[in-house]
Amino acid sequence: MTKQFKQFIRLAHINIVLMRHGLNELAFTTRWLHPLRFLIYFNPWYWTRDKTASRGEHIRQSLEELGPIFVKFGQVLSTRRDLLPKDIANELAHLQSRVPPFPSEQARAIIEKEYGCTISEVFKHFDDVPLASASVAQVHTAVLHKGDEVVVKVLRPGIDEIIFRDIALLYQFARLAERYSKVARRLRPREIVAEFEQKLIAELDLVFEAASTSQLRRNFENSPLLYVPKIYWPYAKKRAMVMERIDGIPVNDIEALNVAGIHLERLAKNGVEVFFTQVFRDNFFHADMHPGNIFVSKKNPENPQYIALDCGIMGSLSNEDKRYLAENLLAFFKRDYHRVAELHVESGWLPGNTRVEAFESAIRTVCEPIFSQPLKDISFGQTLLKLFQTSRRFNMEVQPQLVLLQKTLLNIEGLGRELYPDLNLWTTAQPFLERWTREQLGPRALLRKIREQAPYWADQLPELPGLLHDALTKITAAPQHATMQSANKVAAAQKRMSFSTKRRRHFCGFVSIALLIAAGVTYSMQQMVSWQDVPALSWVLLGLSLAAGGSAFLIDYQRDAKK
């Protein structure tokens, strides 16, 4: 069977599933398709399907039947209760941890194959009834022989083939869209599918997930905001892994959170801080934060702590993207639309020939009516969607590296609004972004970079005298060569004077740079040695550096005055 024929069969299956669950009726509710509504009566399943089920149930059942990629799509949608009808959002929430499980016999077979021994040799007790079942894997509780309570995560059998089949279909859709739609080309669908594929492939290797979990745990070690379970590395394999069992409340179980006395407003704000800390401090963020992966600890109800699971999909940004993103958000918070437009062009998110003033005007037209409302009533997700629609006129391209970040940000807002409807994402995030920007772009950032580079400078410092001697030798030889070639003695004298001035200026400049480096090195050494004079010496060297730099400036000034 050829690859194209398999894709055709899969596409036919998708259409049959949608028709069997009556989702073709939803399409015909669109105004311009309403006249063709009579076609639904030609659907053979229209007369036999369960008409007592709600539309939300039909959508959930369709996604479950279509497989993991579609289930993940439903998981993302379920966090956006401000964008979906309540009945559909409630049904899609079941996709987060109640996907139909696969038989425990298959789970046992996979575990024994991965560990090369029987279940009883690894675990004192293994529960055949799954604790949770998701689109890619399911989880069983167990007890190790040394008494530790753990959970065992096992990949679904045959999941690799299913995902690669659907990814190939998505690539086909993306190619067709780019070929026939100018708007789709701007969205760069093939790059987005490639990014999605990369993350899904990472989910198919539980060793990768174990490593990501350990990294996130290390980033938030002893943090009151987030707890990440421990990984048992001897049992971390490609298709099965063992981790610490945690005791927490699902973040979307509002009733249980209230019974436990959890401070919901503080919990919602802590979630925003956790997100921005992962993105801007650590540059390593959990990119699959749907409610099935997030729990709340009951230990400190007044300042509740999150518990993060399922670190199969993680994201990161380049330093340039982080800086532009932070500055964009801050400018947006302050309604500085001109700066937002400038940053879009500077970052390359808009073509270089874009008229900044025109884009600024378009942003203002969209945002001013939105900002006339109280900030707590403004959906960040809705605002992004409207801005995205506006950007079409300016040929703005989707940045694939930001897709996961945008998705995670929308998830965070959805979770936060569910916990605390009055959550103001704008004012909660602004102080954090302002603090990060000051630390990254201000004097502290300069000092930190100097200290980070100090070992390199210390290694290069002994070579500076030789480099200075070589440079000055070349500068001195230059006027002599020019004099020998000059026929005019006056011009030669002027050149010698000019080169003499340059020589003094360059010498002072080299000395200034050398002393500045030495000041940075000695300042950093106070962290490594106990010399009492080191801090004072660094200030002396810094003063000498400034004096040498000032001398270079005065030489230039005197030369210009003579002219």
Element (H, E) at 215: helix 206-219
Per-residue model confidence (pLDDT) at position 41: 59
Last residue of a domain, one of 441, 461, 477: 441
pLDDT digits (tens, 9 = 90+) for 79-133: 555 556 777 777 877 776 567 889 999 999 999 999 999 999 999 999 999 998 8
**128 located within any domain:** no
- The answer to whether 69 and 105 are in contact (CB under 8 A) is no
pLDDT of res. 38? 54
Shared-domain flag, residues 336 and 437: yes
- Which stretches of 280-423 are assigned E, i.e. beta strand? 285-286, 294-296, 306-308, 314-315
Q: Are residues 344 and 431 in the same domain?
A: yes
Helix axes 425-441, 319-333, angle to 10 degrees: 130
556 and 452 both lie in a single domain: yes
Asked if residue 254 lies in contact with residue 158, where contact means CB atoms within 8 angstroms, the answer is: no
pLDDT at 434: 82
Last residue of a domain, one of 384, 414, 441: 441
The position carrying tokens 């979630």 is: 271
Alpha-carbon distance of 113 to 125, in angstroms, equals 18
Place of tokens 């340059």: 502
Residue 33 and residue 58 in one domain: yes
pTM: 0.67
Q: Are strands 137-144 and 123-126 parallel, antiparallel or unpaired?
A: antiparallel
Do 504 and 540 share a structural domain? yes
Question: Comparing C-alpha atoms, which of 262, 264, 207, 282 is closest to residue 240?
Answer: 207
Q: Which residues are catalytic?
A: 288
Query: Do 334 and 434 share a domain, yes or no?
Result: yes
* DSSP secondary structure letters along 233-265: GGG--SSEEEEE----EETT-HHHHHHTT--HH
- Do 352 and 424 belong together in one domain? yes
* Residues 377 and 399 both lie in one domain: yes
Would you state the pLDDT for residue 40? 61
Residue 292 lies in a domain: no
Residue 245 contacts residue 150 (beta carbons within 8 Å)? yes
For the chain (length 563 residues), average pLDDT per consecutive 10? 68 72 58 55 61 77 78 68 69 72 93 94 94 88 95 92 81 76 67 74 89 95 94 95 94 91 92 88 85 88 93 83 82 85 84 87 84 69 68 70 72 81 78 79 63 64 66 63 50 47 50 51 45 44 48 48 50
Residue 216 maps to a domain: no
HSE-CB at 241 with a 13 A cutoff on CA atoms is 29
Instruction: Note down the domain range covering 510.
Output: 447-562
Do 423 and 380 belong to one domain? yes
In single-letter form, the type of residue at position 266 comes to R
- Is residue 265 a part of any domain in this protein? no
Helices (H) and strands (E) in the chain, counts: 23, 11
Nearest Cα neighbor of 248 from 293, 290, 296 is: 296
Strands 306-308 and 226-227: parallel
- How far is Cα 261 from Cα 271, in angstroms, rounded to an integer? 17
Q: What pLDDT, on the 0 to 100 scale, is given for residue 451?
A: 66
Whether residues 428 and 458 share a domain: the answer is no
186 assigned to some structural domain: yes
461 inside domain:
yes
pLDDT in the model for residue 245: 95
Q: Confirm if 271 and 416 have CB atoms less than 8 A apart.
A: yes
Where among 441, 465, 498 does a domain terminate?
441
Are 455 and 410 members of one domain?
no
Q: Is residue 466 part of a domain?
A: yes
Total domains, the chain = 4
CB of 65 within 8 A of CB of 17?
yes
**What pLDDT, on a 0 to 100 scale, did the predictor assign at position 46?**
60
In a domain, 67, yes or no: yes
Is the distance from CB of 175 to CB of 190 less than 8 angstroms? yes
Within 8 A by CB and 6+ apart from 492, the residues are: 482, 483, 486
* Residues 385 and 411 grouped into a single domain: yes
- At residue 141's C-alpha, the angle toward residues 139 and 143, to 5°, is 140
User: Parallel, antiparallel, or unpaired: how do β-strands 240-244 and 123-126 relate?
Assistant: unpaired
